[in-house]
């Protein structure tokens, strides 16, 4: 019997008592609660990242539109097309 098998037998024996079952319920409930909190936090961070990405895309598009206006005004050669 390896060390993991021994640990499994001891864990089963510990959790088979009433106190052990109570501890196991608390342990698993706290694990579920922590997992749900982590999921909520991950969703919040994903929303923030999406908002930030959208802002960057809008900024880049605005900058690109400004560059295109500048090129049209100078015919792309640095000289003004207005006479």
Rg for the chain, CA atoms, rounded: 31
pLDDT for residue 5 is more than 90? no
- The pLDDT of residue 42 is 93
Looking at the chain, the whole-number percentage of residues with pLDDT higher than 70 is: 73
pLDDT for residue 38 is more than 60? yes
CA dist 81 and 34 (Å) reads: 64
pLDDT in tens, 39-66: 999 999 999 999 999 999 999 998 888 7
Contact 51, 59 (CB under 8 A): no
pLDDT in tens, 16-36: 777 777 777 777 788 888 888
Contact 14, 20 (CB under 8 A): yes
Four-residue CA torsion sign, 43, 46, 52, 57: negative
Question: Would you kindly state where each structural domain of the chain is located, as residue ranges?
Answer: 3-74
Contact 23, 29 (CB under 8 A): no
């Amino acid at each position: 019997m390896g060390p993991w098998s021994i640990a499994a037998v001891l864990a089963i024996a510990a959790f088979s008592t009433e106190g052990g079952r109570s501890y196991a319920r608390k342990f698993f409930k706290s694990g579920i609660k922590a997992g749900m909190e982590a999921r909520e936090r991950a969703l919040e961070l994903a929303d923030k990242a999406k908002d930030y990405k959208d802002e960057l895309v809008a900024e880049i598009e605005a900058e690109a539109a400004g560059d295109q206006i500048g090129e049209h005004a100078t015919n792309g050669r640095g000289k003004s097309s207005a006479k």
